[in-house]
Amino acid sequence: MKEAMFFEKLQGTKVRCYLCRHYCIIGNGKKGFCRVRENRDGTLYTLVYRKLISQNVDPVEKKPFFHFYPGSTSFSLATVGCNFRCLNCQNYEISQLPGDYEYIAGKDVAPEKIVEEALNYRCTSIAYTYTEPTIFFEYAYDVARIAYNHSIKNVFVTNGYITREALATIKPYLNAVNIDLKSFSDETYRTLCSARLEQVIECIRSYKEMGIWIEITTLIIPGINDTASELREIAAFIKSVGPEIPWHVNRFYPMYRLIEKPPTPLKTVKMAREIGLKAGLRYVYEGNVPGDEGESTYCYNCNKMLIKRYGYQMIGNSITNSKCPACSTNIDGVGISV
């Protein structure tokens, strides 16, 4: 157990947590919405510090990051817990685990050991992923600071619900973020994952204002967020934040509590990509469709293929000095050149 960051004491023994945008008010002996932060006699504790539940070495494209050191590997880690209740969660066995058991699963691994492992595997970055990095902030923060001192980059794969105060704290050590923008309907956010769209929008803008590289992912679910009008709304919003932000439009497969939904038709994914490009986004990618042309990176000026991909693998990269070799247009990203 470790005393949590980002909380204030209220009357009696209650506390208010302001790590994420739920701003939970937590009574003595109770946990917040994430179920991994507990009030004990007026002090908030994180229950997942040094409680590693999952670790892997992944291609950075799997996160997905297509414009952040493409072709590199990322040491990926997670604890249990999440501050969303997504009905389609692909990692529900660990993200929702604290709701089923009092015991907090995970093995004790020190932040220094994680960085040591990342160095041993020659990873370019450490990715805080699989569950929601916000809820294991204290752990991620300590790892990130050590990684920074060893020239290892840090990336969040997140639902976009961190508060501005917490984000500002980790900003000096955080290099990139992939944010799930699940829908452009507040009602869908409420029913699909027990959150609010407005808070996610504000969070995305905060990341942009702080100069952190952003990529956005939308999982397209039939009957929930797959209409052309909603996809146009999402594309227009991303364009308003920055046309250079890559948008990953991913194919849905039945999962967790949405097993009655069919996989997303490929034509819907292609429609979403076309909508994004017509809206003025420079880079729109089709996800979960290995071998499709929508996986590759093209110059937004002359349409030359620059990075060829198959699944999570980079087959080739012709970007030189961050420019298209055919027309010299600057290609957006971090560490994107060969």
Tokens of 134: 């916000």
Distance CA 100, CA 116 (A): 33
pLDDT of residue 100: 56
pLDDT of residue 83: 97
User: Are the CB atoms for 286 and 269 separated by under 8 Å?
Assistant: yes
On the 0-12 / 13-18 / 19+ scale of CB atoms within 10 A, 152 is buried
Distance CA 188, CA 82 (A): 18
**Per-residue pLDDT tens for 208-229?**
999 999 999 999 999 999 999 9
Residue 337: pLDDT above 60? yes
Residue 149: pLDDT above 60? yes
CATH class held by domain 51-278: alpha beta
Tokens of 110: 């020190």
Residue 102: pLDDT above 80? no
pLDDT of residue 101: 64
**Segment 42-67 mean pLDDT:** 97
Place of tokens 């009957």: 223
Quickly state the pLDDT bin for 99 (edges 50, 70, 90).
confident
Q: Where are the domains of the chain?
A: 2-42, 51-278, 296-338
pLDDT of residue 97: 85
pLDDT of residue 313: 92
**Segment 38-43 mean pLDDT:** 97
**Segment 96-114 mean pLDDT:** 87
Question: What are 179's strand-pairing partners?
Answer: 158, 216
User: Are the CB atoms for 306 and 326 separated by under 8 Å?
Assistant: no
pLDDT of residue 1: 83
pLDDT of residue 92: 92
Residue 142: pLDDT above 90? yes
